[in-house]
Amino acid sequence: MAKKKTAEKALNIDSILFNCRDYLRAARNSGSFFEKRDMMLTLVFLRFIGEKYDDGIEALRQTLIEQGLDPDDENIRAAFFDDATFADGTYNLPVEARWSTIINTPAPKLNVALDTALSRLEEEDPQLKGCFIKGTFTTRNLAANDIKKIVDEVNKISHKAFGEEKDLIGYVYEYFLKEFAVNATKEEGEFYTPHDVVQLIAAMIEPFEGTLYDPACGSGGMFIQSAELVKSKQGNLNSINIYGQEKEPATYRLAKMNLALRGISHNLGGEADSSFTHDLHKGLYFNYIMANPPFNLKGWYDDNLKNDARWAGYVTPPESNANYAWILHMLSHLKPADGVAGFLLANGALNDSDTLEIRKRLIQNDKVEAIIVLPRELFITTDISVTLWILNQNKKGGKYHGRNLRNREHEILFMDLRQWRDNPVKGENKKKVRLVTEQIERAADIYHKWQSEGTDGTKYEVPELYRSVGIGEISEKGWTLTPSKYIEFIDHDLEIDYEKEMARIQQEMKDILAQEKQSQKMLEEAFRGIGYVID
């Protein structure tokens, strides 16, 4: 008798998080969605930072062995391990904060051990101040069996298993956003920018060195993806300095955890607060800005903002919608000589009537460089199509990242990527698509070629995809920035040879009728053969 074949189920991060979600839902006193999420994100952070420490220690051991030193020698250990330093930003963790300590703690003592680990981390590193809620685990005080099951599940999550390059903290955040908070909205600060969209922005503006700012930085995903791009291009994270701000306290803590985990130096201000009413980086100018601010945000305005310096030279943005307040806020932080910004907004900002005067002045002042409409269903919490805006303080040309740029004054590149929907994401609760690497590279290439010397902006177009447009035509069309107003869309119905098509259809109908008559004839002959007459 043949043995029954059994296949071990592959380790899957979604199944691990599903188990954690169920344990938390069933556990007594596990708290609200936000408290559950805080516990999970904190556990995952401890797991990842602990894994990085273990990897760093192992690498250090191997280096010492290669140099002919004994890593187990008492003097060597005191010199190299007691206060270890790592070149890649890995933290030298106190004993209490190491994952090896946590995973081996008896279940009844886990809640206390976890909060002790968090306290020790904050004591050891100023960058981790404000990352954690005091008493995260002891306040909830989950039953020993419940917290142990969750910790054991989190222990299965590893960068070795799921990829060092992935923003796994962000992925966990996204997962619990989907599974726990069905009513989460962008206005509440609960919105996650998909990796492919971040990669598109980074590929466009190339934030390789200097300063990078995000005024609504969320979980820090923009920074993580940008850091990965920098590493892939030149390998030196020290060449980029990161600044950000986030209004939602829980998301602010998450961003600090995410950046600390990657060893990315950052300045997110000393607290969570609104970029509009309390600009934590006032007076600073940045080389690059990347952002996905809240779409159509209401409730952003107060009377102190009426004559704010950020609106100087324009007009005060409408109280009902913060879209243009975000634009002017970011513009006020761009380096005047050569700052570049790439950010997302709802499509309504392209042609809102109540922002016409601001939009007109932005175009006349030559701040808008490119407008790219993205496909629908790229995001989890909304299925609308959104727009990537690129602002540039220098459209006069010159050297940029090794490329020779031409003068693009009073030109705007319009792109329409709404048809790029041929890569559906499987296994999602709702329909979702993604941009693949080839598409991201294609879009960036269209933009970079348009910028470069040797390109004639008056002839740069492909119907239904992109077109370079001068300010004269934009003025004639009422200062709208809607790409479909400028890009040629072919009426494919006009390509049809109607006489030939009608002849084909008529022939198909004749063939169908002939087949039906033949079938009827065969049926009649069959019935006659058995003596049955069809009326």
CB atoms within 10 A of CB 381: 18
323 close to 274: Cβ distance less than 8 angstroms: no
- Note the CATH number of domain 13-164: 1.20.1260.30
Buried-exposed string 236-275: b where 16+ CB fall within 10 A, e elsewhere:
ebeebbbbbbbbbebbbbbbbbbbbbbbbebbbbeebbeb
Query: Where are the domain boundaries for CATH 1.20.1260.30 in the chain?
Result: 13-164
Q: Where in the chain is the domain with CATH 3.40.50.150?
A: 186-422+458-485
Q: Are 122 and 128 in contact (CB under 8 A)?
A: yes
pTM, entire model: 0.78
End-to-end distance of the chain based on CA atoms, in angstroms?
62
What confidence score (pLDDT) does residue 108 get? 95
Q: Across the strands, what pairs with 291?
A: 343
pLDDT, position 246: 93
pLDDT at 222: 84
Q: Block means of pLDDT (10 residues each) for the chain, length 535 residues? A: 39 80 84 79 87 85 87 80 68 88 95 94 82 87 93 85 60 64 39 81 90 91 79 71 91 84 84 93 96 90 92 94 96 96 94 95 98 87 82 94 94 94 68 87 96 95 95 97 90 54 68 70 63 51
Q: Which secondary-structure segment (H or E) carries 179?
A: helix 168-180
Top-level class of domain 186-422+458-485: alpha beta
